[in-house]
Amino acid sequence: MFQTLYNYFWWERLWLPANLTWADLEDRDGRVYAKASDLYITLPLAFLFLVVRHLFETYVATPLAGLLNVKEKVRLKATPNAVLEKFYAATSKHPKQADVEMLSKKSGCTVRQVERWFRRRRNQDRPSLLKKFREASWRFTFYLIAFIAGMAVIVDKPWFYDLREVWKGYPIQSVLPSQYWYYMIELSFYWSLLFSIASDVKRKDFKEQIIHHVATIILISFSWFANYVRAGTLIMALHDSSDYLLESAKMFNYAGWRNTCNNIFIVFAAVFIITRLVILPFWIMHCTMFYPLDLYPAFFGYYFFNFMMVVLQSLHIFWAYLIIRMAQKFITGKVVEDERSDREETDNSEEEEEVAKNGPLSNGHPVLNNNHRKTD
């Protein structure tokens, strides 16, 4: 049964145009072709990326955060309360008014104290500014290096300037070592993002991020299987061209460099819209949808690849909407924030007055300040 499923999965009519077989893509005469077995290396490389990321965040990003004076906001901790903690963990982090009143009776707290406890408890679970900065630093570093490497791989190739060259001789197109490593590293990185997504900073587009990572992994893998390598290198470089700008804007935002952040964000927004909403659909997708039909009849692989491109393009439109919203805030003079992030919640005015009068509170009690700096 396994062998039958294996044979159906690798049926040549699914992956290759008519009249071509896997035998046509066997290495010969010094020419090397893409093979599915090449991708086995990406899984151990993905775990290696996780190790490198941990070392980078510990020994590079954390000291950099200190140099840029990345400061944490003072968060008031929720006082230990078994009744409220049980409801928070098992039922809801955002109780309805009826639940608040019920919890008030059970815990012996006032309604206002219950509401305040949940606000503080939610803030405790939100990722720290240092965690956000470290994550942005890692992604900025990878995307910048990947973009430079990607341009080095494709800038001297004829299909970078003439998209019809993408399909010249397809699928009998040999793979260069630079293309091989560009593919392996990009795919490994996206595997690592998928593996770490549960522990990374969660944003409002968490589900869209999962869809994006899965779609990207499928696209990169399939384009390698079906030898869409030339198109794949163009698509990957196009995506990397704006991602490092967004991550650098986040870094400066976390460091409090508002003007620098806003200026980089405007550049990012322009690059994103030009590359993802103009070049990708009207040049690259036009190339993958129409040019191949001049050479061979459409087959399953052709439809599947372009379907996944449409999924990716739909996500780009969704993110472009968020980017435009942020750009509007910038134009109107408001601080640019990541629309995907949850905002820090503040306590009510009564507590703020108490803080102003008595100093910062910790677990509901004033923190003494004798003009001495606390050392950790």
Asked if residue 368 has pLDDT above 50, the reply is no
**Arithmetic mean of pLDDT, 121-135:** 84
Asked if residue 77 has pLDDT above 80, the reply is no
Delineate the domains of the chain, giving CATH numbers in brackets: 28-68+128-332 (no CATH), 82-125 (1.10.10.60)
Q: Which amino acid is at 82?
A: A
Q: How far is it, in rounded angstroms, from Cα 136 to Cα 254? A: 10
**Tokens encoding 327:** 């750009």
Top-confidence residue, 328 or 356: 328
Strand partners, 31: 28
Asked if residue 361 has pLDDT above 50, the reply is no
**Arithmetic mean of pLDDT, 340-368:** 44
pLDDT of amino acid 45 = 97
Helix (H) / strand (E) containing 244? helix 229-254
pLDDT of amino acid 363 = 38
Buried b (16+ CB within 10 A) or exposed e, 66-100: eebebeeeeebebbebeebeebbeeeeeebeeeeb
pLDDT of amino acid 344 = 54
pLDDT of amino acid 372 = 39
Task: Compute how many other C-beta atoms are within 10 angstroms of the C-beta atom of residue 54.
Answer: 13
Q: How far is it, in rounded angstroms, from Cα 151 to Cα 164? A: 19
Global pTM reads 0.78
Asked if residue 348 has pLDDT above 70, the reply is no
Asked if residue 125 has pLDDT above 80, the reply is no
Out of 4-18, 276-290, 333-347, pick the least confident: 333-347
pLDDT of amino acid 88 = 80
Per-residue pLDDT tens digits for 193-245: 999 987 887 776 678 788 888 988 999 998 998 889 999 999 999 999 999 99
Per-residue pLDDT tens digits for 279-328: 999 999 999 999 999 888 888 889 998 998 998 899 899 889 988 888 77
Residue 311 contacts by C-beta under 8 Å, 6 or more apart in sequence? 211, 215
Asked if residue 70 has pLDDT above 90, the reply is no
What percentage of residues in the chain have a pLDDT greater than 70? 86
pLDDT of amino acid 202 = 74
